[in-house]
Structure formats: structure tokens, C-alpha cells
Amino acid sequence: PITFSVSQDDPTSRPGDGSPERPLRIVLLGQNGVGKSTLAIALGGEFDRSASVDSDSQVVGEGYVRMVTVDGEESCIVVYDNWKQDLSTLKCDVCLLVFSVTDRRSFHRTAQLRLLLRETQPQTPIILVGNKSDLVRSREVTTEEAIASATLFEGQYLEMSASLDHRTSELLQGAVRAARGQWPALGS
Ligand code: GDP
Ligand code: MG
């Protein structure tokens, strides 16, 4: 069994390498109700309190930790469900900007978040995630405009349904690849 003990020497200041001491950090951001918590559990598995990361003696997050194998390589990941602090304190290896395809306001919110994120960490790869694709009849955002938005900021777009577990494994693989520095992270 692997014990996850995130090292205390300001682990947020440097990139994760996928080891249990320095997991790849995946952060979910987006408006309330878009499905972040559902996704965090789907991607991150069991909640592990030992993954709490302290930075400048301040608790900056708690995440879901697990080992994953992507492209034949094993990595430790930590998935943070949202970020309650000031976005400028956020340090991660990939950011998942989540909206619901049934809620146009949540789509606009991802654009705002992306601008905030780009101010403080311009290099972090961003995957735009359109969740709730199962709710076909209440769709408010088209696939085409989401792709156009992602293209604007050199992100990639994935449309999925966390409830139906549709394309969640693709999101996990894409997030891990992006966190490892591989880009583009998603297949077409
Ligand atoms: P959060 O506020 O972003 O953390 O969103 P939650 O994960 O709490 O989800 C909000 C609501 O949307 C819950 O009732 C979920 O069951 C529902 N939900 C999440 N993902 C999906 C999805 O892919 N399809 C549908 N139809 N509902 C979803
Ligand atoms: Mg939530």
C-alpha cells in the first residue's frame, strides 16, 4: 500500500512530478452546480486527508489522491474540488475549467476564471470541460462555441457527462498528460 504524505517544504511552489510526495495537482474550477464535486470523486477516488497541502503555514487545500496509470506510466495525482481561497494563491499542474452545457452563465464564468488564472499562472495548461452533455433538451451552449472559446486561449475542450460516466476516463487521461507537460493532452 502507498502512503501519501505530501512534503512540507512548500510543495505548492514547484511542479508535481507524479510521485506520492509530489503528486500531479489537478484543480477543478467553475460555478456552483456545474458538477465539480461529482467529477472530483470520479477522477480522484477516495478522499485522503493526508493530502492536505500546507503552504506558508496556511492550509490551502484538500484533495482526492490516487495512483493512476496513463500511457503505461504510473503517477500519483491529487484532485482539488474547487479552490476556496484567492485564486492568486493557486498553484497547480493543470486546471480544469468546468461549466454546464445547460447553463450559459456557467460558460461565461469559465471565461472570467481563465482571465484570472492567466494573470497569475500563464503557463498552466487549461482544459475546458463542458459537463452534463446528457441533458440534451436543456442545452444552452453549443459544442462549436465551446471549442471556439478554448481555441482562443490555447486550451482544449472536452464535453462529457459525469453522471453517466461518459468520457470521464478521457478527462482523467487528458488531465494527467497535461500535468506531465504533454500538450495537446486530448485526442481529437
Ligand atoms: P458542484 O457545485 O460544481 O460541485 O456540482 P455538483 O457535483 O454538486 O453537482 C450539482 C448537481 O448536478 C448534482 O445534483 C449532480 O448530481 C448534478 N450533476 C453533476 N454532473 C452531472 C451530469 O453530468 N449530468 C447531470 N444530468 N447532472 C449532473
Ligand atoms: Mg461542489
Question: Can you tell me whether residue 44 is helix, strand or coil?
Answer: helix
Read off the pLDDT of residues 29-43 as tens digits, 9 standing for 90 and up. Answer: 999 999 999 999 889
160-181 confidence digits (pLDDT tens): 999 999 999 999 999 999 999 9
pLDDT tens column, 118-152: 998 899 999 999 999 999 999 999 999 999 999 99
In the chain, how many H helices and how many E strands? 4, 8
Q: What is the pLDDT of residue 149?
A: 97
Q: Does the beta carbon of 38 lie inside 6 Å of ligand 1?
A: yes
135 Cβ below 6 A of ligand 1: yes
**Residue 86: per-residue pLDDT:** 80
Model pTM score:
0.89
Q: Any residues with CB less than 8 A from the CB of 27 and at least 6 apart, and which?
A: 79, 80, 83, 90, 92, 94, 95, 96
The residue contributing the CA closest to ligand 1 atom 20 is 35
Say if CB 100 and CB 33 are below 8 A apart: yes
Complex-level ipTM = 0.99
From the CA of 160, the nearest ligand is 1
Band the pLDDT of 1: cuts 50, 70, 90. Answer: very low
Q: Name, in order, each residue with C-beta under 8 angstroms of 82's C-beta and a sequence gap of 6 or more.
A: 28, 29, 36, 37
Nearest residue by C-alpha to atom 2 in ligand 1: 33
Q: What Å distances lie between residue 17 and 76, 95, 177, CA to CA?
A: 8, 16, 12
